[in-house]
Every structure is written in C-alpha cells, then in structure tokens.
Amino acid sequence: MDPVRNPYAPGAGQRPPELAGRDRQLDAFDVVLERISRSRPERSVVLTGLRGVGKTVLLNQLRSAAIARGWGTGKIEARPDQDLRRPLSSALHMAIRSVAGTHRDSERVDEFLGVLKAFALRASADKALRDRWQPGIDVPAVSGRADSGDMEIDLVELLMDAASLAQDVGVGIGIFIDEMQDIRSDDLSAICGACHELSQNGLPLIVVGAGLPHLPALLSAQKSYSERLFSYHRIDRLDRKSFDQALILPAEREDVKFTDEALDLLYQAADGYPFFVQAYGKATWDEAADSPITARDVKVAAPIAEEELAVGFFGSRYERATPAEREYMRAMADLSGDDGPVSTANIAKHLGRRPASVSPARDGLIKKGLIYSAERGTIGFTVPHFGKYLRRQADES
C-alpha cells in the first residue's frame, strides 16, 4: 500500500494518529482545570510509567487542554544534574507572556518579570557570570524576592507571585515537566514545597509531571506528604479494546481494514505498548499489498519492525551502557523471564559477585534511565521487553 498514506508514526513523544486508551486521564484533568477555574483547591498531577507507554504524548495533550482554556503554560524536560532555575525560568516566562497581554496593570506584570529575572540569575553562583548571562527578560531584576539562593524559599515566592498574576485575569498557569525523575533531589523537594503552598492557598498554578515508575518514591523521599500532594496516574499498556482502536480507526480513515487474525497477531507482537503499536502498525502497512491487511502481512512485517526496534529503541540505549553495566543488564535479563523486577541480591549471586561490588553498575544504569528501583531490594527495566531483547541478542551471538 501507499507508504505516503501510512497513518502510523512511531516517534519519541510524537502524537499517534489515534490517542486511544487515555480518556480517563484526560477526563480527570478536565475536572482539575474546571475546579481551579471555580477557585476550588486541586492537586498537581504526576504521570508515571515505563518508556514507550506514551507519557510524553499524554503530557503534551494535557498541556493542550490547558491552553484551550486560556491558561499560560510552559514545558521543560529535566536532565540529570541540571540546575532547575534556568529551564524553569524559561518555562514560566513563556507561561506568563501568554497571560500578561490581558492584564490591565502593566507595572504589576513588569514587577513579576523582575522577580522572575532575579530568580533566574541565581542559577549562577559566580557574580561575573551572572552579569554576562541574561535570561531574555527586558526589565531590571527585582531584589529581595525569589533571590535568596535557597531553592525552596525562592520557588515558593516565585510561583505564588505567578499564580497571583494569573488569578488577576481569571486563568491558571501550568508548568509541565517531562522526565521528572531526573530533577535533582533539592530541586524536587522545592517543587513539593511550592506545590504544597499553592494548594493550601488555593492559587491557580499546578505542576504536571511525567516520569518513570519510581518517581512517586523519589517525591516521597523528599517530602513525606507528597503522596497526598499529587494526583498520581500510572500509564500502562493499552487493553485490547484500546489497542484495536489505535490501529483500526487511523486505517479506516484511509479506507483500509484489518482481518481479525491480523489484529490478534499484532496485539501479541506489540503487547499493548503504544510505541510498539505504532512500530508494528507502520511496518505492516508498508508490507501489505492491499486491504484488508492479513495475518500473512503481519508475519512478513514483524521481523522488519523488530529490527527497527532493535536498532532505534533498544540498541541506542544498550550502546550507552558501559561493559560492566551491560553485564549487569544481561544478568537481569537471565533472571527475569517476563521482564519483571528482579532481586538485586539475586543479580549479584548470578554474577558471582558481592552485592557491593555491582552497586556502581546498578547506580550508573539508574542514572542513565535504563533501570529503576521498583521497590526496596528489587530492580526493573525502564524499557518494556528490554530483557527479551537482551536474551535474543545473546542467542544470536
């Protein structure tokens, strides 16, 4: 069939042609936005799940819902060991710019921008460097607000001021954070503290974060009340009905159908993971001669999809690991027949090493986002089917 008309689009954070299986999260967020518009208290939102389940896509969709209501929004992607001040300042600057035009008091807007600039400039401890670097805010920095150098104090003051400014014009502000598990611990603690203050004061600013499954544990380690501070949504694989919708509806818009046998095989291959759905759907479309797409088409296309996943989805991550880290992951793969969490003690035993001697490899993999601490004493892959990929690689070598 015509590859130009192929509706499936596997890509990092790229919205699929049919966002299936996420109605519950979208509806819940609509309630959050409506409650805040009525000055009702609401919690910030956290999305968690493995890689490839569509967290970034959903995060972007939630942001679009906020924009549709006239909210000011900004988005950042957290990075390990990155100071949060500069990216957060840029995101908040973007959010404020979209609401400032309707504010009647331009001096009040400029005063806030001065506070935001002061907050951003504290990102550098070196005064000479601060004098050279400017955050793109064309007003003088305001002294004495959000510039103490204590991240939690400064962030509380900054977000409270931003929320108050938005409240003046009857809208809210949403700060959307992807890869939230990569935020440094002190900055994560500051976010929790700021969200707590905002919630207590009923101000219209929320943080919407997305991260790996251990993100709730990281938040809880910073503030014990974080379990009540956020509304947590675990994003998982699609159920069969949603899976069928994700494949069938885009194809029907191109007057193409699937046989039931083809859908069965695709569901078995993709295992309900949204990224895999797009990868197998795209390969199958390109290999099929005409409609309806059959089980034979799926069988021909599956090795092509698997090869592309092996290079782009699995292989690129494997290449980032050191030899010791790869050895650790192979041990995990040997012990996790279903790719579920594995005991760290059993991994060390499998390698014939003391647990302390393999800790650096484990810690390095966690930092790179390849594995996560599922619960105390266990570890799991952040990428679905990664263990299966490693076992297949071992069999072929």
User: Listing from the earlier edge strand, what are the strands of the sheet with 378-381?
Assistant: 342-343, 378-381, 371-372
The answer to whether 139 touches 114, Cβ cutoff 8 Å, is yes
Q: Are 300 and 185 part of one and the same domain? A: no
Q: What is the mean pLDDT of residues 10-32?
A: 92
Q: Are 361 and 293 part of one and the same domain? A: no
Q: Are 138 and 46 part of one and the same domain? A: yes
Model pLDDT, residue 132: 47
What confidence category does residue 129 fall into, taking pLDDT thresholds of 50, 70 and 90?
very low
What CATH number is attached to the domain comprising 297?
A: 1.10.8
In the block, which residue shows the tokens 């890869």?
179
Domain edge (last residue) among 215, 234, 253: 234
CA distances (Å), origin 130, targets 13, 110, 390: 34, 20, 47
**Pair of tokens at residue 284:** 């199958």
Domain edge (last residue) among 234, 263, 287: 234
User: Listing from the earlier edge strand, what are the strands of the sheet with 230-234?
Assistant: 72-77, 173-178, 205-211, 44-48, 230-234
Q: Could you count the other beta carbons within 10 Å of the beta carbon of residue 331? A: 22
Between CA 208 and CA 210 the distance in angstroms is 7
Q: Are 389 and 246 part of one and the same domain? A: no
The answer to whether 384 touches 273, Cβ cutoff 8 Å, is yes
**Residue 7 lies inside a defined structural domain of this protein:** no
User: Which sign, positive or negative, has the C-alpha torsion 253, 259, 262, 267?
Assistant: positive
User: Would you list the DSSP string of 187-243?
Assistant: HHHHHHHHHHHHHHHT-SEEEEEEE-TTHHHHHHHH-TTHHHHEEEEE--PPPHHHH
Angle between helices 274-287 and 260-270 (to 10 degrees): 130
Domain edge (last residue) among 252, 287, 317: 317
Q: Are 149 and 224 part of one and the same domain? A: yes
Q: Give the closest residue to 206 by CA, choosing from 38, 324, 36, 385.
A: 36
Please write the tens of the pLDDT for every residue from 172-199: 999 999 999 999 999 999 999 999 999 8
What confidence category does residue 268 fall into, taking pLDDT thresholds of 50, 70 and 90?
very high
The answer to whether 325 touches 296, Cβ cutoff 8 Å, is no
Q: Are 100 and 224 part of one and the same domain? A: yes
DSSP bridge partners of 173: 72, 205
Q: What is the mean pLDDT of residues 96-107?
A: 89
**Residue 17 lies inside a defined structural domain of this protein:** no
Q: Look up the domain containing 140 and give its range.
A: 23-234
Q: Are 121 and 192 part of one and the same domain? A: yes
What CATH number is attached to the domain comprising 198?
A: 3.40.50.300
Between CA 223 and CA 193 the distance in angstroms is 8
**Residue 12 lies inside a defined structural domain of this protein:** no
Instruction: Supply φ then ψ for residue 363, to 5 degrees.
Output: -65, -40
Please write the tens of the pLDDT for every residue from 347-375: 999 999 999 999 999 999 999 999 998 78
Please write the tens of the pLDDT for every residue from 131-154: 445 557 878 888 999 999 999 999
Q: Are 214 and 78 part of one and the same domain? A: yes
Q: Give the closest residue to 360 by CA, choosing from 327, 386, 385, 388.
A: 327
Q: What is the DSSP letter of 75?
A: E
Domain count, the chain: 3
Q: What is the mean pLDDT of residues 278-293?
A: 96
Q: Give the closest residue to 343 by CA, choosing from 369, 384, 386, 375.
A: 375
Using the predicted structure, report yes or no on whether residue 202 has a pLDDT greater than 70.
yes
Q: Are 40 and 161 part of one and the same domain? A: yes
Q: What is the DSSP letter of 136?
A: S
- Those residues whose C-beta lies under 8 Å from the C-beta of residue 250, and which sit 6 or more positions away, are 7, 8, 16, 17, 18, 281
CA distances (Å), origin 202, targets 8, 56, 69: 42, 27, 18
Q: Are 57 and 186 part of one and the same domain? A: yes
Model pLDDT, residue 128: 45
Between CA 93 and CA 219 the distance in angstroms is 25
**Residue 11 lies inside a defined structural domain of this protein:** no
Q: Are 39 and 161 part of one and the same domain? A: yes
Q: What is the mean pLDDT of residues 19-34?
A: 96
**Residue 15 lies inside a defined structural domain of this protein:** no
**Residue 69 lies inside a defined structural domain of this protein:** yes
What CATH number is attached to the domain comprising 352?
A: 1.10.10.10
What confidence category does residue 227 fall into, taking pLDDT thresholds of 50, 70 and 90?
confident
Q: Are 175 and 283 part of one and the same domain? A: no
DSSP bridge partners of 343: 378
Is-above-0.75 flag for pTM? yes
CA distances (Å), origin 29, targets 22, 46, 78, 212, 219: 11, 11, 22, 20, 21
**Residue 9 lies inside a defined structural domain of this protein:** no
Q: What is the DSSP letter of 4?
A: G
Omega before residue 250 within 30° of 0, cis: no
Model pLDDT, residue 104: 87
In the block, which residue shows the tokens 């990092």?
12
**Residue 204 lies inside a defined structural domain of this protein:** yes
